[in-house]
């Protein structure tokens, strides 16, 4: 795997959220993703962890990528907030913060003395964002996880087979819920510009899932028929399928207009199809899918993957190889600016996806690698106004790890 240069990021003060101070009490994916987005956009994010570090750092299996992916561009403050000195230090940071984010179980922050009512009394400009399982209602005290929300909200049903619900292959609800959290934070910041007051905002897993499957709820409202799982759906298009090249490698090809249908026929020599007026319109092609698709499948299998991709590239049709995550390391498009060269806390070098936006024709890049436990914490305290003697005293008391 070859490392590439990270996208150009410019100076910190040039970034859109430069100057905003964010204190993060998070773990797993949803909360850290909120911090990641804010940090990539230029905010000064301090992740407060236990002295032993966030438990997410030690996850294995499918959780082993959580910490390295969602914690770049942050400082780590390893602090015992259950001690009086540690709590006093956390409050001192929060007194000067613009934003606080957390995603612990309902009531956990209040029990620590870090609920919004207590914090806003000290810092009325503070914006607090909580990532929860549920918004206000009968379920609000329940604990949820991404997969629980996918099952409960209908997404797992829509992803799997009729008798086999299946979660999506990434933490889509955690990450999308985090995005909605950041939207709420930015809206609260804009409102603070007018009122001078902060506020508490909440984002949730369950309502995020419901929002994502809202299109299927609307489909039912319009048609009166339940939406079948996507694996069993009747396509709205005559050609919208996964095909195989000569070696069995798979590619998705879509034909979503009559113009694209003619382009497909011209590119692959489907003369009979092109001349058949009954296939000129999409709805008729949908009715004749059993006739069309076997012919297309046979023709595509005559090409190597490279030949098939080259020919499809010229048609202007929507198409893509069916890739595995590890293949993205070598994707030429991502390597042109969409991957960050990252050094992980264990010392390994890798490439990970940048934030998927451009601002002023540039990508947002890497300023800090995912931190080791306590890395950057002392500097964050000094920047918040603590003296070197105060920081050293916290270390000597065993309250701070640097």
pLDDT in tens, 154-190: 999 999 999 999 999 999 999 999 999 999 999 999 9
Give the model's pLDDT for residue 13: 66
Domain ranges of the chain: 12-213+338-401, 235-326
pLDDT tens readout for residues 312-324? 999 999 999 999 9
With 80 as the cut, is the pLDDT of residue 197 above it?
A: yes
Q: What pLDDT is attached to residue 234?
A: 77
pLDDT digits (tens, 9 = 90+) for 72-106: 999 999 999 999 999 999 999 999 999 999 999 99
Q: What percent of the chain has pLDDT over 70?
A: 97
* CA atoms within 13 A of residue 224's CA, in its CB half-sphere: 0
Whether the pLDDT of residue 6 is over 80: the answer is no
Q: What is the pLDDT of residue 8?
A: 52
Q: What is the DSSP string of 7-28?
A: PP---GGGSTTTT-EEEEE--T
User: What's the rounded Cα separation, in Å, for the pair 316 and 391?
Assistant: 60
- Render pLDDT for 55-81 as a digit per residue (tens, 0 to 9): 999 999 999 999 999 999 999 999 999
Region 107-136 average pLDDT: 97
Instruction: Answer whether 17's CB lies under 8 Å from 44's CB.
Output: no
Pairing verdict, β 74-79 and 44-49: parallel
Long-range contacts for 307-310 (Cβ within 8 Å, ≥24 apart)? 307/245, 308/245, 308/251, 309/251
The predicted model scores a pTM of: 0.94
Which pair of tokens denotes residue 175? 């990450």
**What confidence tier does 107 reach under pLDDT thresholds 50, 70, 90?**
very high
Mean pLDDT of the chain: 95
Question: Do 238 and 282 contact (CB within 8 A), yes or no?
Answer: yes
Does the pLDDT of residue 21 top 50, yes or no?
Answer: yes
Given the candidates 3.40.50.11540, 3.40.50.10540, 3.30.70.360, 2.60.120.380, the CATH classification of the domain at 12-213+338-401 is 3.40.50.10540
Q: Within 10 Å of residue 32's Cβ, how many Cβ atoms?
A: 30
Q: Look at residue 3 and tell me whether its pLDDT is greater than 60.
A: no
Cβ pair 206, 153 in contact under 8 A: yes
Lowest mean pLDDT among 7-16, 173-182, 345-354: 7-16
Does the pLDDT value for residue 347 go beyond 90? Answer: yes
Task: Give the confidence band of 1 by pLDDT, cuts at 50, 70, 90.
Answer: very low
Give the CA distances from residue 188 to residues 111, 175, 185, 258, 380, in Å, rounded to whole numbers and listed in that order: 25, 20, 5, 45, 24
What architecture is domain 235-326? 2-Layer Sandwich (3.30)
Identify whether the C-beta of residue 119 lies closer than 8 Å to the C-beta of residue 93: no
For 288-345, write each residue's pLDDT tens digit. Answer: 999 999 999 999 999 999 999 999 999 999 999 999 999 999 999 999 999 999 999 9
* Per-residue confidence band for 235, with pLDDT thresholds at 50, 70 and 90: confident
DSSP code of 330?
G
Calpha distance 33→253 (Å, rounded): 32
Read off the pLDDT of each residue in 252-259 and give the average, rounded to a whole number: 97
Q: How confident is the model at residue 54 (pLDDT cuts 50, 70, 90)?
A: very high
Does 383 score more than 80 pLDDT? yes
Residue 293 and residue 241 in contact, taking contact as beta carbons nearer than 8 Å: yes
**24 phi-psi bin (left φ>0, alpha ψ -120 to 50, beta other):** beta
Residue 5 has pLDDT above 80, yes or no: no
């Amino acid at each position: 795997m070859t490392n590439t240069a990270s996208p150009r990021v410019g100076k910190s003060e040039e970034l859109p959220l430069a100057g905003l101070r964010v204190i993060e009490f998070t773990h797993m994916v949803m909360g850290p993703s909120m911090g990641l987005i804010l940090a990539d956009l230029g905010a000064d994010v301090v992740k407060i962890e236990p002295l032993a570090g966030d438990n997410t750092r030690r996850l294995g299996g499918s959780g082993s990528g959580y910490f390295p992916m969602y914690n770049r561009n942050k400082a780590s403050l390893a602090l015992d907030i259950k001690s009086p000195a540690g709590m006093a230090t956390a409050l001192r940071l929060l007194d000067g913060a613009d934003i606080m984010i957390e995603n612990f179980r309902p009531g956990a922050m209040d029990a620590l003395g870090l609920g919004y009512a207590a914090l806003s009394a000290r810092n009325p400009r503070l914006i607090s964002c909580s990532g929860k399982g549920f918004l206000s209602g009968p379920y609000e005290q329940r604990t949820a996880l991404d997969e629980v929300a996918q099952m409960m909200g209908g997404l797992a049903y829509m992803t799997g087979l009729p008798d086999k619900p299946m979660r999506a292959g990434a933490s889509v609800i955690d990450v999308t819920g985090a995005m909605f959290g950041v939207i709420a934070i930015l809206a609260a910041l804009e409102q603070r510009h007018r009122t001078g007051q902060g506020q508490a905002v909440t984002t949730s897993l369950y309502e995020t899932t419901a929002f994502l499957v809202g299109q299927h709820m609307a489909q039912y409202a319009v048609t009166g028929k339940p939406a079948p799982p996507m694996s069993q759906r009747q396509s709205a298009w005559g050609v919208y399928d996964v095909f195989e090249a000569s070696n069995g490698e798979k590619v998705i090809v879509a034909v979503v207009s009559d113009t694209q249908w003619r382009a497909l026929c011209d590119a692959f020599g489907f003369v009979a199809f092109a001349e058949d007026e009954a296939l000129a319109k999409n709805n008729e092609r949908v009715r004749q899918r059993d006739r069309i698709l076997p012919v297309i499948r046979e023709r595509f299998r005559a090409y190597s993957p490279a030949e098939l991709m080259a020919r499809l590239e010229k048609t202007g049709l929507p198409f893509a190889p069916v890739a595995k995550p590890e293949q993205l390391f070598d994707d030429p498009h991502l390597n042109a600016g969409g991957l960050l060269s990252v050094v992980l806390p264990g010392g390994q070098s890798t490439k990970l996806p940048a934030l998927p936006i451009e601002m002023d024709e540039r990508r947002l890049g890497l300023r800090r690698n995912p931190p080791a436990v306590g890395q950057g914490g002392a500097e964050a305290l000094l920047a918040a106004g603590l003296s070197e003697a105060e920081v050293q005293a916290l270390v000597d008391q065993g309250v701070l790890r640097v």
